[in-house]
Structure 1
Amino acid sequence: MDTDRQLYESQATGWRAGVYDDVRATFHAPVVNWIFRTLMANDPELTRYLWGQVKPTFTTRAFGQYSVAYRDAVLSAVESGDRDLPRYRRADLGLEPAEFRELAGQAETFDVVAPRLAVLFEVVDRSLRGDPVGDGDDERAAATEPMPAWLDRDRGRSPTMVDDVPAELADTAGGVRAFHGLDDDLPSIYRCLAQWPAYLRTAWDDLEPVFESPAFDRACERAHEATEAFVDSVPYPPRIAPDDLRTRGTDEATITELQELFETFNRGPIETVLPALPAYAATLNVAGRRELD
């Protein structure tokens, strides 16, 4: 599993392009995340199977309820702390109107995908370890009702990212790496926001004390608890345990590489990176809904 390989959306054709379209439509987001691009580049057939197995997880009203609860769990915990989330207007950052719209739109996309990635990583990681996903005990209609088509629909803009962080953000990037426990590469959200150095430098200076506070620790804990509770109750458990993959002919080396990949994504830095996404969106006043009746 070469994690430097990716099949980009512009390169996808045939059924691969169809899978990417399905991911975007199912996630209600204008992006195909790195994990899918890498899996597709390394093992297209396995990616198609895996996506077909996990897709139903994201299609129920219960998932919609979870997705807004995830966002509220993060923001409510942060708002209960001693430090307020900053809120920026265009004039505060010295950006042109088109620049500010693009910045806000791309940050909004990350707000949409945060709970979806949290569930994806938890479901696949558990399944590949042979741990249970879903117990069938959720008797609510929401467990199997379709997710509202309007929820998070038409939010955000397709993210673009820098390859190299601008020199003027060297100190900011160092602070980001230290806080999230990163070695070299920055997560996608930071390589995206680095396109607007004035914003990222200002936002990090204001948010670093928030992220280092007990309130953000609670935010991460509550977001994780919400994710675990949802994954415990999904009505359509995927068949991607090691024995399932062996049955379809997946070799042991590939299974091991998948296990290692998703274990890495479901633990460590991601535990603070994903909850930070709604916070960044909130600074630009584009965080999504926080309740669903």
Structure 2
Amino acid sequence: MPEYLAEGSRKADYEDTKAILQVPWMGVVTMSFSHYRHFYKALWGGLRPLFQSAELAERCVALRLKAEGLVAGLAPPSIIERLKATGYAPREIDAICDINTVFHIGNLPYVLMATYARLLLEGHELSTVTATMPFAGRHAPPSLAPFVLMEAHHADQPTRAIYDDVKAQLGLPLVNTDYRAFARWPSYFATAWQDLRSHLQTPGYEAIVRAMHEAVVQAALSLPNPGGLTSAILRDAARQEGSFDEVHRTVQLFQWLLPGLIINVAYFRAQL
């Protein structure tokens, strides 16, 4: 359910999730998970203490640096001169960088949440360590306002065509929030996407995404488990939704696509 339609307990879940993750948007992943009320209550209730910890914040930094290092292997070309030639002023390029920073940092807790969900649904258990250090302050950039998304019904035909290409090239059923935010600057997004597109579905790109996926899994398994979340708890909650398989498929989808999204955002960052 989109944020603007959420009410009552759903709205409260959205606001609490964003506050703990220190992000200005409710990710499509968590909106989809929260459709399954018993499941999301168990998942977020069990993970919430961890996501308030210094250990989680530190691991997100390490994963972000991992993504940057992997992307460097693709040698992204700078597009700054092309943007300037189009008419972009330095302040506009800085604004694009600011939006990129929001996603570059904010996607990490989302991918960890999806990874925990899949691991637990598939019978894996988390760490037996429960002690954590609380995190004080902000680990995320200041919230940006307005946080503008170029929805498909807002966009002109060329941007809608890029959205269709994004879905086709990446095998996605939807256009992620990140891409809709970048498309606020249509000519920038077209330039950035075309450069990235040349790497998609190549052996080198796919190896990088696999490496990111594996790094996230290892991070999830190594972090403490202060909420005491277990496979049995989450599997039981998923069964209460009436279709365990449906919940599992939803979780698999997002756990599969988010590492690639993290790599793509890091690539866009390296272009700037």
TM-score, length-normalised on structure 2?
Answer: 0.80
Question: Shift of residue 109 of structure 1?
Answer: 2.0
Distance 1:198 1:66, change over 3 A: same
Aligned to 2:240: 251
Question: Shift of residue 222 of structure 1?
Answer: 3.2
- How many residue pairs get aligned? The number is 268
Measured in 2, the distance between the counterparts of 1:155 and 1:243 equals 34
Structure 1 unpaired stretches of 5+: 1-5, 285-293
- Asked if residue 74 in structure 1 is aligned to residue 85 in structure 2, the reply is no
Contact 2:42/2:233 (CA < 8 Å) preserved in 1?
no
C-alpha offsets along residues 124-172 of structure 1, whole Å, 9 cap, x if unaligned?
0111122222253x9xxxx722235232242555352312453223654
Structure 2 unpaired stretches of 5+: none
SS of 1:253 mapped into structure 2: coil
Measured in 2, the distance between the counterparts of 1:174 and 1:35 equals 20
Q: Which amino acid aligns with 2:54?
A: R
Distance 1:205 1:244, change over 3 A: closer
- Asked if residue 21 in structure 1 is aligned to residue 15 in structure 2, the reply is yes
- Asked if residue 60 in structure 1 is aligned to residue 53 in structure 2, the reply is yes
Contact 2:149/2:183 (CA < 8 Å) preserved in 1?
no
Q: How does 1:121-270 map to 2 (within 5 A)?
A: 121-136=114-129, 144-154=132-142, 156=144, 158-164=147-153, 165-169=155-159, 172-173=162-163, 175-182=165-172, 185-211=174-200, 216-236=205-225, 238-239=228-229, 241-242=231-232, 246=236, 251=240, 253-267=242-256, 269-270=257-258
Question: Shift of residue 121 of structure 1?
Answer: 0.9
Measured in 1, the distance between the counterparts of 2:23 and 2:45 equals 18
C-alpha offsets along residues 187-230 of structure 1, whole Å, 9 cap, x if unaligned?
33223322321011111222223455655444323322321221
Measured in 2, the distance between the counterparts of 1:163 and 1:238 equals 41
Q: Which amino acid aligns with 2:246?
A: E
Measured in 2, the distance between the counterparts of 1:109 and 1:125 equals 25
Question: Shift of residue 179 of structure 1?
Answer: 3.2
Distance 1:159 1:106, change over 3 A: farther
SS of 2:142 mapped into structure 1: coil
Distance 1:174 1:33, change over 3 A: closer
Of all paired residues, the percent bearing the same amino acid is 19
Q: Which moved more, 1:184-193 or 1:92-101?
A: 92-101
Contact 2:125/2:230 (CA < 8 Å) preserved in 1?
no
Measured in 2, the distance between the counterparts of 1:135 and 1:189 equals 35
Measured in 1, the distance between the counterparts of 2:113 and 2:214 equals 15
When the two chains are superposed, the root-mean-square deviation of aligned CA atoms in Å is 3.2
What is the aligned counterpart of 2:24 among 27, 30, 41?
A: 30
Question: Shift of residue 266 of structure 1?
Answer: 1.5
Question: Shift of residue 275 of structure 1?
Answer: 1.9
Aligned to 2:102: 109
Measured in 2, the distance between the counterparts of 1:28 and 1:209 equals 33
Aligned to 2:266: 278
Measured in 1, the distance between the counterparts of 2:13 and 2:51 equals 15
Aligned to 1:86: 78
Question: Shift of residue 106 of structure 1?
Answer: 3.0
Q: Which amino acid aligns with 1:38?
A: S
Question: Shift of residue 173 of structure 1?
Answer: 3.9
